[in-house]
Every structure is written in C-alpha cells, then in structure tokens.
C-alpha cells in the first residue's frame, strides 16, 4: 500500500467507499494520524525502536570520547593500531581467497558439465550453518599433532603434520567457511545472465576465456565485489575462530582487554569505523548491480570440460570435504568417543542433564529473540512498506546497519552500560538484556522478510474491509496477520538460527548460570574437552538443520 492509496481512502471526497464515509467520517479518522496516514503511536514506537537499534554503537562512541582525557592518543597508539593492521591483513587474505574460491565454484557448478553439478549446488552453501569456532576447533583437533589426520598419516610412517595457529590457521578456517558469501550471489547472477551474449562472442571467434573476460566478468563483477565485502565484514567481526587460533585481531584484543575500559573502548572505536567503511563500500557495490532483461534471457551456456572434467570434479569434492565433510567427521568422531566412554563406565565433564539444559536454554532464548525481533522490526517495516512515512527510511537504515556491528561490540557496549549507569544496573545479569542484544544483532535479518510480507497484502482487501466499517486494528488482525504469518515465521526462523550460533554475546551477557550450547562448546574446546564439545556440536547442528527445514526452507515460497 502506498501513501497515495492511503490518502485516497482517507479522503472525504473519495468515490470508492461512500458507505465507509457515512460510518467513519474523515475528521475522526484523520485525528491521531500523521500526514502519511500512519498513526502517531506507530510513528512514535517505530522511532523509539530504531533508536534502540542504534544505541549500542552510539554508546560506545560516546563513552570513548567522554571516558578518556585524550581519546585520540590511545586511539592511534601501537597498542590499538597493531591489532587493526592484523585484522585488515587477515580480512584481505580471507576475502581474496573466498572470492577466488567462491567465484570459481560458482562458475563450475552453473556453467560447466562437471559431474554431480546439481548435488554440488546444494552442498556447497552448507558451511554457512557451521559456526566458525566449531570449524576452527575441528581443524585444530584434526590437523594438529595427535588429531585424526596425524593418526592417519602416522600409519604410513609420516610423523610430520601441519600445526594450525596464528595467521595461517585463521586464514584457512575463515576461508573455508566464508566462501559461500561469494558463491551464492555469483552463482545466482550467472544463472540470470542471458546466454545469447556469450554465444555471440563465441560465434565471432572468441575463446571461452576471452568470452568470459569480455562478456561475463563485467556483468558479475558487482556480485563478486559485494560478496567479497561481506566476507571482509564477517572476518573483521569474527571472534571464535581467531580466539582458538590465538591470532590477535581487534575482536580478540577487545575481549582480552574487556576489563581495561580505555583500551577496549579505543579498540571498539577502530572496529566500528572499519565496519562502517566496509558497509558503505558494500552499499556502493550493491547499487552498481546491473539489471537484466528477462525477455532477452536464453538458456544458460554450458561449457564442456572434456579431459578436465574429472580433475575439476576432484577440486570441487576437495572443497566440500574440507569445508563440510572433515569438520562433521571430526565432530561425530568426538561425540561417539564420548558416548563410548560413558558406555564403558567412564565420565564426562558434562552429563546428559547438562546437555539438555544447555539445549533448552539455547532454544528458549533464541525463540524469545526471534519473536521479539519480528515484533521490533514490524512497526518500522509498516512505516516503510505501507505508509511511506517521512523519516521511515532513516529508521530502516538504522535497523539494517546494526547487523554490521560485530556481536562483540554490542555485548561490550551493553556490558559497559550495565556497569556504568544507574538504569543499566536494573538489567545486569538478566535474560532481557541478552534478548535485547540478540535483537540488535540479528533484527536486520527479519526486516527484509517482514517488508516482503507487508507488501504482499493486497490493498483491495483493506479497502473492502474499511468499506464494511472494520477498524484499523481489526483489519490488521483479520487480514494482515493471516497473510503475513508464513513469511514472518520464516524471518523469525532466520533470527532463531543465527542466535543459536552466536558466541560473543552469549559469552559476555548471559546471566550467571545460564549456559547455551555455543558457550558450553567454546569452553569445552578451550579446555581441550573435545568429546563433550563434539556431543554438543552434533546436537546444535542437528537442531539447526531441523529448524532450518521447518521454519525457513519449507516457507521459501512465501519469501
């Protein structure tokens, strides 16, 4: 529904609803509404919620310039700049690797006759469902001396194994688990491009490589750039993998200095600026995405690999094994070894009741966050999608940009707030504060789906209901809610699945004694209790897979 539609329905001279005017006169209807037709209460609620999303980042900036006598001196000291350069170095390396890997896999699975291409298209995005700290732990315990790989090669008389840690380990793990951020948009773009352009280039004598460079690459460059920037943003905000690999980036430096408020605030300021630069760059790339004319679209060109068919198949299989197969095998092996130990009369540091408690806490708080996130973004989405209210775009931008704020910074801001302010003390060690942090971190995931849901409601149904005298609240309850429910559930599912894997927020803000699967796994990995961590990792991945199917995949047609 547009603002014009709203004004027409609310106008006293509208010819479309004479009966409505008799029972619902214009002066009464217009009272309590803004110029766009949106109720003032909705405008006020949407404004407050948008400000709440911006609060953690704004609080960190404000604290940095009020807490320090000379904030710029610490901001540009070696103590803060050294982690910044290491963060940029890691992000550049991971982005470059993920770009090459993701783009290459997208080309192979969409434009060649590699065996099993449809299977690979389903499997290659799976690393997104595995938390990077779980992947890092799996690589550490598999590749490092004493791991599964070491035991395997030892059977052949080989004693040398790779030791993963520092920059190399962080680069390898993050590259393996972030390439889908490039693979997905590039493969989608390649499927959209009309094959007639490539066919024309080949007819004119261009080789496959020249046709790709001259015709395809310019049209997919924006998708490649946007995906690479997403990888960069993810890398600079990652905490679990760099912590396990002992590589001192900004996030790890912030965590280790969380009790030193001055240093932590300066490091947080640098990370916020870096994230803002990446977001602006990503928006620029997204705005340059080329459109395409569906009427000119022809069948996608499939290139024959010939004698390279099976070597390429081996490379794709290797990527899947390294990013999905090996971590899952390691986790299952640890879980089975732990269960076998219990069956033989041994003991673990966590029992079945502990696993059940962590699982319930994870599901409970994630469900609360998912429901609350949809409720929090719904007023803003209504102002944007239905009423086109003035200033709604700013509120929308605040909600979306909060996703670029690393979870560690959100946790740090709220932790400082509870320590340093009177109102904050009321929320210290409460589930409410934890849920709020999750909403700020992942509310943007629900925003896009909620906007689609709102725009899917036919305006004619509202017109008919208003003609029959139904009030706005009744129209929302009887028309909007039933139509929007499937899409809203899918948006809630995205938030729930992301919340279940969130580590730094859960680690820093959870109430005392409130354990989640993510925090328990991380502590077990840190303490080298791999069997316990493996059991909880298998539970988390299994629960995530089931919920992904019921809440997101089954409802994909409604998005």
Query: What percentage of the chain reaches a pLDDT higher than 70?
Result: 82
pLDDT band at residue 442 under the 50/70/90 scheme: very high
> For 528, phi and psi rounded to 5 degrees?
70, 25
Q: Are 500 and 518 in contact (CB under 8 A)?
A: yes
3 state DSSP class of 39: strand
Q: Which of 129, 158, 146, 137 is nearest to 242 (CA)?
A: 137
pLDDT band at residue 26 under the 50/70/90 scheme: very low
User: Three-state SS string across 166-177, please?
Assistant: HHHHHHHHHHHH
What are the residues whose beta carbons fall under 8 Å from the beta carbon of 20, sequence distance 6 or more?
Answer: 9, 466, 467, 468, 469
Measure Cα distances from 369 to 382, 441, 542 in Å: 20, 10, 20
Whether the pLDDT of residue 120 is over 60: the answer is: yes
Question: How many Cβ atoms sit within 10 Å of the Cβ of residue 29?
Answer: 19
Whether the pLDDT of residue 290 is over 80: the answer is: no
Q: How far apart are CA 309 and CA 268, in angstroms?
A: 48
Strand-pair partners of 112: 303
Measure Cα distances from 97 to 127, 137, 171, 516 in Å: 15, 21, 9, 32
pLDDT band at residue 51 under the 50/70/90 scheme: very high
* Average pLDDT estimate for 430-459: 88
> For 34, phi and psi rounded to 5 degrees?
-80, 180
* Average pLDDT estimate for 87-108: 94
* Average pLDDT estimate for 332-359: 84
Question: How many Cβ atoms sit within 10 Å of the Cβ of residue 318?
Answer: 11
155: which DSSP letter?
Answer: T
* Average pLDDT estimate for 122-147: 80
User: Burial of 289 by CB count in 10 Å (0-12 exposed, 13-18 middle, 19+ buried)?
Assistant: middle
pLDDT attached to residue 314: 93
What are the residues whose beta carbons fall under 8 Å from the beta carbon of 470, sequence distance 6 or more?
Answer: 478
295-304 pLDDT, tens digit per residue, is: 444 567 787 8
Q: Take residue 215 and report the two structure tokens written for it.
A: 């015709």
Whether the pLDDT of residue 412 is over 70: the answer is: yes
Whether the pLDDT of residue 22 is over 50: the answer is: no
* Average pLDDT estimate for 143-168: 67
pLDDT band at residue 196 under the 50/70/90 scheme: low
Q: How far apart are CA 177 and CA 313, in angstroms?
A: 20
Exposure letters 186-223 (e unless 16+ CB within 10 A, then b): bbebbebbbeebbeebbeeebebeebbeebbeebbbbb
Whether the pLDDT of residue 558 is over 90: the answer is: no
Q: Are 191 and 114 in contact (CB under 8 A)?
A: no
* Average pLDDT estimate for 546-550: 75
Q: Among 273-277, 296-300, 470-474, where is mean pLDDT lowest?
A: 296-300
Whether the pLDDT of residue 204 is over 80: the answer is: no
Whether the pLDDT of residue 25 is over 50: the answer is: no
**Can you give the pTM of this predicted structure?**
0.78
- The dihedral built from the CA positions of residue 240, 246, 250 and 252, taken in this order, carries a sign that is positive
* Average pLDDT estimate for 504-516: 90
Query: What percentage of the chain reaches a pLDDT higher than 90?
Result: 21
């Amino acid at each position: 529904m547009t603002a014009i539609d709203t004004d027409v329905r609310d106008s006293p001279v509208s010819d479309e609803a004479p009966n409505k005017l008799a029972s619902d006169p214009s002066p009464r209807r217009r009272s309590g509404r803004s110029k766009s037709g949106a109720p003032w209460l909705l405008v006020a609620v949407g404004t407050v919620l948008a400000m709440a999303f911006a609060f953690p980042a704004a609080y960190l900036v404000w604290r940095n310039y009020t807490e320090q006598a000379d904030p710029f001196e610490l901001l540009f000291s070696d103590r803060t700049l050294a982690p910044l350069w290491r963060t940029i170095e890691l992000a550049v390396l991971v982005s470059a690797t993920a770009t090459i890997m993701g783009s290459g896999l997208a080309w192979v699975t969409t434009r060649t006759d590699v065996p099993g291409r449809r299977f690979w298209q389903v499997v290659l995005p799976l690393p997104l469902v595995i938390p990077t700290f779980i992947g890092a732990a799996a690589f550490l315990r598999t590749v490092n001396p004493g791991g599964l790989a070491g035991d395997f090669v030892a059977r052949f008389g080989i004693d040398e194994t790779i030791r993963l840690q520092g920059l190399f380990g962080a680069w390898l793990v993050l590259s393996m688990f972030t390439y889908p951020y490039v693979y997905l948009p590039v493969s989608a773009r390649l499927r959209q491009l009309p094959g007639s352009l490539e066919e024309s280039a080949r007819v004119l004598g261009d080789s496959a490589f020249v046709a790709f460079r001259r015709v395809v690459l310019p049209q997919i460059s924006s998708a490649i750039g946007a995906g690479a920037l997403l990888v960069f943003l993810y890398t600079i905000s990652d905490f679990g993998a760099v912590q396990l690999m002992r590589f001192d980036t900004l996030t790890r430096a912030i965590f280790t200095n969380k009790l030193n408020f001055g240093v932590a605030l300066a490091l947080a300021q640098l990370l916020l600026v870096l994230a803002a630069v990446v977001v602006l760059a990503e928006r620029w790339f997204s705005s340059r995405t080329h459109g395409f004319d569906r009427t000119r679209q022809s069948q996608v060109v499939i290139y024959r690999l010939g004698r390279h068919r099976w070597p390429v198949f081996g490379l794709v299989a290797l990527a899947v094994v390294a990013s999905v197969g090996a971590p899952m095998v390691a986790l299952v092996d640890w879980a089975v070894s732990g269960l076998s130990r219990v069956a033989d009369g041994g003991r673990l540091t966590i029992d079945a009741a502990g696993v059940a408690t962590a699982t319930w806490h994870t599901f409970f708080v994630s469900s609360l966050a998912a429901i609350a996130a949809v409720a929090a973004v719904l007023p803003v989405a209504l102002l944007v999608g239905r009423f086109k209210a003035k200033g709604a775009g700013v509120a929308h931008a605040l909600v979306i940009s909060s996703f670029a704020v690393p979870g560690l910074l959100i946790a740090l801001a709220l932790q400082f707030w509870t320590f340093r302010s009177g109102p904050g003390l009321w929320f210290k060690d409460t589930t409410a504060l934890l849920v709020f942090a999750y909403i700020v971190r992942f509310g943007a995931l629900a925003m896009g789906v909620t906007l689609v849901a709102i725009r899917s409601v036919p305006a004619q149904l509202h017109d008919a209901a208003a003609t029959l005298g139904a009030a706005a609240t009744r129209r929302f309850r009887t028309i909007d809610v039933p139509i929007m429910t499937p899409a809203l559930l899918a948006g809630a599912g995205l938030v729930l699945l992301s919340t279940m894997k969130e580590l730094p927020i859960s680690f820093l803000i959870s109430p005392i004694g409130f354990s989640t699967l993510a925090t328990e796994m991380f502590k077990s990995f840190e303490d080298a209790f791999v069997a316990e961590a493996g059991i909880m990792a298998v539970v988390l991945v299994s629960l995530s897979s089931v919920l992904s199917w019921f809440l997101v995949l089954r409802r994909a047609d409604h998005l």
